[in-house]
């Protein structure tokens, strides 16, 4: 890492962006949080709880008012909707036959946590042992488990609660679709492990996904944390305000420049925290002068700290789904016909229960594709529903198919591929270049084949074989290893879990942040969101992101120094 301190940062224009600057006489905030998503919402709550620290949270999207955000099954409506979603695309990937993968990201208060599928997975213990081994001191399983225990309220099927955290985690095992029973019978027939609690002491095995809902409504981090915090006088939320960059005096972050309604403003803060997510936080650092030196110079951005890891180390989960017509009724029968929709809507309106109150991801779990592996290498989804395919060749969850069907899906739990996300222009509205590099390692190609083989075993187990009327697309049964890999290249896609683009680690040689999420080479600047993960966790990334924000808040509140 090379450092190029500057004595002051001129408040000029950035690149082609010529919007007029209004430096308002604003109060100086103690904390400015950029992004009101899963992590930012936690931070606004925790850092303002003392009632004294002045907290500003700035969100590029609007308020989380849409009823589709709060209705769990509304997921399908938000998936391609630019009102709530950045609707990005990755670069064409050679290993995926040059295909362009669709990357939804939440652009609304609550961030991706307002548009996600609500599956709540803490991750497997060894994921966090690896965090600490990567140089993130103190982020081992024992300490992060204590944080999880503290932040959750777990709601059992009978409605009884344990824990006292703001984050509600619902066990919906009594309410999932009956079709799921065939998946569990299949696991038994194959003598594969089953767990009653994927977030418990024995997380490995087939199981039912717990979800972030409360009384049948999505319970995002914004609902759990930000909205209650907004009742405090010392918290200010600015929506539809996009931060263009962080401003520095030398290497000390001293404020932000934001865009609102065509104008530009400067706001000063004692500490600046980026929580813009794994796709946008690295871009914000890069536009602010912290990132790969050659890239910044090529765009004419003055370099404050040169660090190639900003935007690097991108990790994500890539999955392939197999679609089958079913011999018995599935969720499709409940949700596809008009009368089914009306019935489900009435059920929901009267009881806050029924299919509209659930995620489409109902069961699955963490399994080993081979018993001699030390850890579960695959995450499985069994969804009692199939969806219409759009003209782009992508899945859409807007309309279930008009016949019974189900999906079996495998994703490599801990891929080894490393990609990048970089800005391509200084223009703050320009979409970033997302280069996931999926299936680029031999290890990941082998794991993808192993995942396909595991799905083949499952679908061939008598209980599931009986459920198959016909495959709706490529059928993993009878595929050679080469066929499975070719199918992954042709059809696999992200399951929207990008992490690690500003990761924590031992030094700037391999990372962007120290173990307290402070940006190496700067003062007064942290990144706290999914980009801070030292490595991807085996499962869905929302729970670990919220846990990370809580633990980072503990660290901020415990000490005053912000020097990395």
Helix (H) or strand (E) holding 406: strand 405-412
Q: Which is nearer to ligand FAD, 256 or 472 (CB)?
A: 256
- Examine residue 264 and tell whether it contacts ligand FAD (CB under 6 A): no
Burial pattern 37-71, b for ≥16 Cβ within 10 A else e, equals: bbbbbbbbbbbbbeeebbbbbbbbbebbebebbbb
- Examine residue 409 and tell whether it contacts ligand FAD (CB under 6 A): no
Which residue do the tokens 């942040």 mark? 513
Residue 25 dihedral angles phi and psi, to the nearest 5°: -75, 95
Q: How far apart are CA 488 and CA 558, in angstroms?
A: 47
Q: Which is nearer to ligand FAD, 217 or 453 (CB)?
A: 217
Q: How far apart are CA 2 and CA 4, in angstroms?
A: 7
User: Of 496, 500, 524, 547, which lies in the binding site for ligand FAD, with binding defined by CB under 6 A?
Assistant: 496
Closest CB 196 distance from ligand FAD, rounded Å = 20
Residue in the shown chain whose Cβ atom is closest to ligand FAD:
37
| Crossing angle between the packed helical segments 481-491 and 442-460, to the nearest 10 degrees | 100
- Examine residue 365 and tell whether it contacts ligand FAD (CB under 6 A): no
The pair of three-digit structure tokens given for residue 145, joined into one six-digit string: 């488990």
Q: Which is nearer to ligand FAD, 111 or 436 (CB)?
A: 111
Site stretch for ligand FAD (CB under 6 A), options 31-39, 188-196, 334-342, 475-483: 31-39
Q: Which of the residues 282 through 341 are near ligand FAD (CB under 6 A)?
A: 284
Strands 420-422, 433-435: pairing kind: antiparallel
| Crossing angle between the packed helical segments 141-151 and 542-558, to the nearest 10 degrees | 100
- Examine residue 213 and tell whether it contacts ligand FAD (CB under 6 A): no
- Examine residue 55 and tell whether it contacts ligand FAD (CB under 6 A): no
- Examine residue 33 and tell whether it contacts ligand FAD (CB under 6 A): no
Q: Which is nearer to ligand FAD, 242 or 491 (CB)?
A: 242
User: Of 96, 117, 423, 512, which lies in the binding site for ligand FAD, with binding defined by CB under 6 A?
Assistant: 117
Closest CB 53 distance from ligand FAD, rounded Å = 20
User: Of 541, 547, 550, 553, which lies in the binding site for ligand FAD, with binding defined by CB under 6 A?
Assistant: 541
- Examine residue 494 and tell whether it contacts ligand FAD (CB under 6 A): no
- Examine residue 105 and tell whether it contacts ligand FAD (CB under 6 A): yes
Which residue do the tokens 């890539």 mark? 318
| Crossing angle between the packed helical segments 141-151 and 125-133, to the nearest 10 degrees | 120
The pair of three-digit structure tokens given for residue 371, joined into one six-digit string: 């018993």
Catalytic residues, by residue number, are: 497
Size of the site for ligand FAD (CB under 6 A): 41
DSSP-assigned states of every residue in 44-98: HHHHHTTS-S-EEEE-SSB-S--HHHHSGGGHHHHTT-TTTB--EEPPPBGGGTT
The answer to whether residues 541 and 326 touch, using CB atoms and an 8 Å cutoff, is no
User: Of 47, 540, 556, 562, which lies in the binding site for ligand FAD, with binding defined by CB under 6 A?
Assistant: 540
User: Of 104, 384, 432, 505, which lies in the binding site for ligand FAD, with binding defined by CB under 6 A?
Assistant: 104
Q: How far apart are CA 233 and CA 287, in angstroms?
A: 32
- Examine residue 119 and tell whether it contacts ligand FAD (CB under 6 A): yes
Q: How far apart are CA 162 and CA 187, in angstroms?
A: 29
Q: Which is nearer to ligand FAD, 75 or 520 (CB)?
A: 75
Q: How far apart are CA 419 and CA 561, in angstroms?
A: 32
- Examine residue 543 and tell whether it contacts ligand FAD (CB under 6 A): yes
Q: Which is nearer to ligand FAD, 280 or 445 (CB)?
A: 280
DSSP-derived 3-state class of residue 478: coil
Site stretch for ligand FAD (CB under 6 A), options 25-33, 66-74, 509-517, 535-543: 535-543
User: Of 93, 116, 199, 315, which lies in the binding site for ligand FAD, with binding defined by CB under 6 A?
Assistant: 116
Q: What is the CA radius of gyration of the chain?
A: 23
Site stretch for ligand FAD (CB under 6 A), options 111-119, 367-375, 377-385, 513-521: 111-119
Footprint of ligand FAD on this chain (CB under 6 A)?
A: 34-40, 58-61, 104-107, 111-113, 115-119, 121, 242-243, 275-278, 280, 284, 496-497, 529-530, 540-543, 545
């Amino acid at each position: 890492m090379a450092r190029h301190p500057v004595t002051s940062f001129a408040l000029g224009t950035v690149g082609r962006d010529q919007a007029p600057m209004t430096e308002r006489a604003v109060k100086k905030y103690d904390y400015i949080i950029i992004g009101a998503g899963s992590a930012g919402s936690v931070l606004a709550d925790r850092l303002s709880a003392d009632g004294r620290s002045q907290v500003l949270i700035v969100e590029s999207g609007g308020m989380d008012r849409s009823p589709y955000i709060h209705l769990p099954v509304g997921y399908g409506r938000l998936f391609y909707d630019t009102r709530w979603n950045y609707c990005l695309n990755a670069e064409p990937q050679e290993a995926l036959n040059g295909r362009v993968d669709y990357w939804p990201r939440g652009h609304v208060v609550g961030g991706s946590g307002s548009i996600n599928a609500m599956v709540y997975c803490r991750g497997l213990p060894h994921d966090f042992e690896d965090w600490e081994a990567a140089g993130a001191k103190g982020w081992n399983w024992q300490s992060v488990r204590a944080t999880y225990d503290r932040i959750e309220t777990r709601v059992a099927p009978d409605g009884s609660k344990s824990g006292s955290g703001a984050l509600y985690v619902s066990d919906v095992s009594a309410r999932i679709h009956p079709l799921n029973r065939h998946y569990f019978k299949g696991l038994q027939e194959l003598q594969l492990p089953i767990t009653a609690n994927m977030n418990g002491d024995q997380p490995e095995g087939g199981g039912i996904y717990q979800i972030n809902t409360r009384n049948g409504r999505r319970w995002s981090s914004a609902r759990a944390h930000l909205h209650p915090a907004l009742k405090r006088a010392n918290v200010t939320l600015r929506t539809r305000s996009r931060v263009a960059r962080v401003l520095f005096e030398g290497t000390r972050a001293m404020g932000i420049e934001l865009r609102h309604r065509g104008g530009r403003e400067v706001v000063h803060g004692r500490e600046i925290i980026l929580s813009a997510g794994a796709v946008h936080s690295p871009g914000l650092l890069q536009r602010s002068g912290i990132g790969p030196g050659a890239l910044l110079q090529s765009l004419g951005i003055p370099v404050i700290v040169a660090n190639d890891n900003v935007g690097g180390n991108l990790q994500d989960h890539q999955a392939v789904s197999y679609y089958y017509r079913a011999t018995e009724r599935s969720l499709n029968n409940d949700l596809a016909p008009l009368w089914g929709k009306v019935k489900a809507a009435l059920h929901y309106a009267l009881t806050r229960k029924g299919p509209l109150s659930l995620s489409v991801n109902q069961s699955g779990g963490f399994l080993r594709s081979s018993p001699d592996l030390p850890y579960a290498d695959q995450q499985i989804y069994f969804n009692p529903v199939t969806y219409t395919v759009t003209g782009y060749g992508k899945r859409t969850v807007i309309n279930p198919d008009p016949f019974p069907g189900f999906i079996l899906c495998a994703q490599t739990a801990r891929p080894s591929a490393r990609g990048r996300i970089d800005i391509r222009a200084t223009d703050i509205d320009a979409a970033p270049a997302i280069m996931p590099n999926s299936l680029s390692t031999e290890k990941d190609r082998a794991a993808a084949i192993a995942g396909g083989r595991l799905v083949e075993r499952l679908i061939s187990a008598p209980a599931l074989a009986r459920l198959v009327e016909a495959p709706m697309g490529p059928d993993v049964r009878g595929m050679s290893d080469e066929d499975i890999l070719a199918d992954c290249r042709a059809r696999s896609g992200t399951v929207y879990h990008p992490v690690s683009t500003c990761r924590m680690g031992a030094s700037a040689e391999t990372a962007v942040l120290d173990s307290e999420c402070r940006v190496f080479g700067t003062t007064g600047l942290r990144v706290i969101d999914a980009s801070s993960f030292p490595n991807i966790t085996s499962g869905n990334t929302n729970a670990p992101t919220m846990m990370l924000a809580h633990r980072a808040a503990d660290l901020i509140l415990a000490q005053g120094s912000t020097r990395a």
